[in-house]
Amino acid sequence: MTTNPIPNNIYETMLKICNEYGIDPSSSLDAQHYFEDLWIRFNNLTENAQFPVWLVQKIKENFISLSSGEKRPIWIQGSNWPFDQQTPMIFLGQIDLRQNKNPNLKNYFHDDVSIYVFLSREGNKEVIIQEY
């Protein structure tokens, strides 16, 4: 992060916690700005020792999953949670296509494929991400 106002020890904690939820705060400029803003809001509230608990609460509030059992994406290549208007989009679900379960898949893809579906908070924009 080039304009990172987040202290290194806090950023390391952020990376560890976010990883547990399938989120990478450095995956895009939107993600970087979102987490920088979170840090600024937290830093104005309380002391650093409370940051991990506060961050987990914010992740649960803002990175919403509507998939069965509220499962989060299981990324093949790395977290790429999309944002819309600087807000995390809602995860609707994941479709996993495996070569060993579908021999015809090799006619279309060179490897296993996962497709992730997200929806904006307003419900007017969808994002579909495909990873192999």
pLDDT tens across 24-46, in order?
A: 999 999 999 999 999 888 876 66
Domain of 116? 65-132
CB-side exposure of 63: number of CA atoms within 13 Å?
A: 25
pLDDT score for 68:
79
Query: Which residue bears the tokens 């309380």?
Result: 46
φ and ψ at residue 27, rounded to 5 degrees = -70, -25
Phi and psi torsions of 120, nearest 5°: -70, 160
8 and 40 share one domain: yes
pLDDT in tens, the chain (132 residues): 445 578 888 899 999 999 999 999 999 999 999 999 998 888 766 667 788 999 999 999 999 999 877 899 999 998 999 999 999 999 999 999 887 777 777 777 778 899 999 999 998 999 999 998
- What dihedral do alpha carbons 90, 55, 80, 106 form, nearest 10°? -80
Same domain, 4 and 42: yes
Q: Does residue 74 share a domain with residue 57? A: no
Q: Are residues 72 and 131 in the same domain?
A: yes
Check whether residue 127 and residue 83 sit in a common domain: yes
The total number of structural domains in the chain stands at 2
Among 26, 44, 63, which residue terminates a domain?
A: 63
Per-position DSSP letters for 79-126, written without gaps between them: ----EETTEEPEEEEEEEE-TTT-GGGGGT-SS-EEEEEEE-TTSS-E
